[in-house]
Amino acid sequence: MLTDSPILFEDAQLVLVNKPAGVLSHPNPGQITARNRGTFLGVYDFDEKTFETESGKVWLLHRLDQDTSGVLLATKDAESAERLRADFDSGKIRKEYLCLVRGDPGPKGVWKDHLTLKRDGTKVRSFVLRGHAPNAELRFERVGFSTAHRVSLLRVELITGRTHQIRVQANSRQHPLCGDDVYGDFSWNKKMAREFSSTRLFLHASRLEFRHPVTGRKVVVEAPLASELKEVLTALGL
For 217-238, how does the pLDDT look when each residue is reduced to its tens digit (9 = 90+)? 999 999 999 999 999 999 999 9
The predicted-structure confidence for 133-188, as pLDDT tens digits, reads as follows 999 999 999 999 999 999 999 999 999 989 999 999 999 999 999 999 999 999 99
Catalytic annotation, pick one of 65, 67, 113, 180: 65
User: pLDDT at position 44, please?
Assistant: 84
| Whole-number average pLDDT of the chain | 93
Q: Which residues pair with 220 in a beta bridge?
A: 209
pTM: 0.93
Structural domains of the chain, with CATH: 7-93+208-223 (3.30.70), 96-196 (3.30.2350.10)
Please say if 65 is a catalytic residue.
yes
Identify whether the C-beta of residue 44 lies closer than 8 Å to the C-beta of residue 51. Answer: yes
